[in-house]
A and B are shown apart, each in its own frame.
Chain A
Amino acid sequence: MTVSRDNSKMVYDGIKAAGIRYITALPETWLVYLLQLAEDDPEMCLVEVAKEEEAIGIAAGAYFAGTPNALLMQNHGFLGSINGIVSLALLYRIPLLMLIAHRGHIGEPYPWHTQGGILTEPVLRGLGLPFDYVRDPHQAAKQIREAQTFALSSLSPVALLLTRDLMED
């Protein structure tokens, strides 16, 4: 398995094209190139957290400040952020644009990712969060822009699941 450098670049370009200049993230293998691009980009502010739930608070602060922003995390980080999503974002109607690496699904060789991978979609549905899968790198920019638009109009967290097809070569 190798992470796709080209597709990561296309996703990153989509993030930039959506006007996002502030990213809150916790590193994960599929996100390596995306985070490197953010780190090397003088126009981008990248905040790395100790645990993903913090990112929900930081993103809310950035939203209050009027800064278009996004969160990057692994699906297990999403699962670990649920109280923040429920009791901050949903309770107070705060939009979040979450790009989530969907580890642990079909094709996953590592056993430790599998339960989180299987449960990601049902948990998103259970929370009533709008989500979409990103599979085609050529669609990524459009999906990011539209997810951002919908987060802002619905005042809800919106998740884009970055799939194996997209993130691996």
Chain B
Amino acid sequence: MKRADCIKALYPELENCLVVTIMGASAQELYDLGHKENFFYLEHAMGLASSIGLGLAMNLPDEKVIVFDGDGSVLMNLGTLATLARYRPPNLVHIIFDNGSLLSTGGFASHTTSGICNLAAIAKGAGCPNVYEVSNLYQFMEAAAEAFEANDMTTIVARVEAVGPDHYGMDLKLPENAFRFERYIKERQKAKQLN
């Protein structure tokens, strides 16, 4: 299973969500499908995408928040799984694409290579509810559908191949992404209050 295929299959469902991605391939693959104002790409600060998702989800209970995370990023901030479990925002879907590789920084093996370290087991041990482990697109979409329907926090660990895009780059400056994302949320909240 390729991460790009997972993101592509999920893309139509992201329209009404707030999406936070990690750096590198995940961000690029989502961007290449067509940038939307509800996407925020965290191109550095590895490990903090799920923390941003937590802050968003807790403060916007009427929004579905989707985080595209990766094994390398989660391994840099394992504490986040315990914090997520403790506060357990029901509107958060935490998708960890586990390619067993630090793909965007040279393709070195991460600790999850060959199943030595099991992120789903760590998430469960941290207390995260509804943890799915998937390794084909059908399972991924099934888990995602349940996560989108559920009124509880969900973690999906998706085992994917260590392949990424053949190019990197966005026509979007990093602060510009932050400014537009913040404005989009503000306007969306305003529109909801008016309705």
Which residues of A approach B to under 8 Å, CB–CB? 22, 24, 45, 47-51, 53-67, 83-84, 86-88, 91-94, 155
Question: Could you tell me if A88 and B181 are in contact, using CB atoms closer than 8 angstroms?
Answer: no
Count of A-B residue pairs with CB < 8 Å:
115
A54 surroundings in chain B (CB, below 8 A): 47-48, 51, 77, 79-80, 83
Which residues of B approach A to under 8 Å, CB–CB? 20, 40, 42-45, 47-60, 77, 79-80, 82-83, 86-87, 174-175, 177-179, 181-182, 185-186, 189
Question: Could you tell me if B83 and A65 are in contact, using CB atoms closer than 8 angstroms?
Answer: no
23 A–B pairs (Cβ distance < 8 Å), ordered by A:
A48-B83, A49-B51, A50-B83, A54-B47, A54-B48, A57-B50, A57-B80, A58-B54, A58-B83, A59-B55, A60-B51, A63-B182, A64-B40, A64-B56, A64-B178, A65-B55, A83-B45, A84-B45, A91-B45, A92-B178, A93-B175, A93-B179, A94-B178
A91 surroundings in chain B (CB, below 8 A): 43-45, 174-175
**With A57-B49, A65-B185, A91-B44 as given contacts, are A50 and B58 in contact (CB-CB < 8 Å)?**
no
Give the shortest distance, in Å, between B194 (CB) and chain A (any CB). 15
Question: Could you tell me if A88 and B179 are in contact, using CB atoms closer than 8 angstroms?
Answer: no
Question: Could you tell me if B179 and A49 are in contact, using CB atoms closer than 8 angstroms?
Answer: no
Please give 4 more A-B residue pairs, beta carbons under 8 A apart, in addition to A54-B83, A61-B55, A61-B57. A22-B58, A24-B55, A62-B58, A64-B55
Question: Could you tell me if A58 and B174 are in contact, using CB atoms closer than 8 angstroms?
Answer: no
**With A49-B79, A54-B80, A92-B178 as given contacts, are A61 and B54 in contact (CB-CB < 8 Å)?**
yes
Cβ-closest chain A residue relative to B60: A65
Give the shortest distance, in Å, between A70 (CB) and chain B (any CB). 13
A65 surroundings in chain B (CB, below 8 A): 55-56, 59-60, 185
A51 surroundings in chain B (CB, below 8 A): 77, 79
Tell me, in angstroms, the Cα distance from A93 to B47 when the chains sit together. 18
Question: Could you tell me if B189 and A66 are in contact, using CB atoms closer than 8 angstroms?
Answer: yes
Tell me, in angstroms, the Cα distance from A155 to B59 when the chains sit together. 20
Give the shortest distance, in Å, between A151 (CB) and chain B (any CB). 14
Q: Select A66's contact among B43, B87, B175, B185, beta carbons within 8 Å.
A: B185
Question: Could you tell me if A64 and B181 are in contact, using CB atoms closer than 8 angstroms?
Answer: yes
B47 surroundings in chain A (CB, below 8 A): 53-54, 57
B51 surroundings in chain A (CB, below 8 A): 49, 54-58, 60-61
Tell me, in angstroms, the Cα distance from A83 to B87 when the chains sit together. 24
Tell me, in angstroms, the Cα distance from A48 to B82 when the chains sit together. 10
Q: Select B59's contact among A55, A67, A83, A94, beta carbons within 8 Å.
A: A67
B83 surroundings in chain A (CB, below 8 A): 47-50, 54, 58
Question: Could you tell me if A47 and B52 are in contact, using CB atoms closer than 8 angstroms?
Answer: no
Give the shortest distance, in Å, between B34 (CB) and chain A (any CB). 21
Tell me, in angstroms, the Cα distance from A154 to B147 when the chains sit together. 38
Cβ-closest chain A residue relative to B179: A93
B87 surroundings in chain A (CB, below 8 A): 47
Question: Could you tell me if B186 and A61 are in contact, using CB atoms closer than 8 angstroms?
Answer: no
**With A47-B87, A88-B44 as given contacts, are A60 and B80 in contact (CB-CB < 8 Å)?**
no
Tell me, in angstroms, the Cα distance from A53 to B83 when the chains sit together. 12
Tell me, in angstroms, the Cα distance from A56 to B43 when the chains sit together. 15
Which of B86, B87, B178 has the largest count of A CB atoms less than 10 A from its CB? Answer: B178
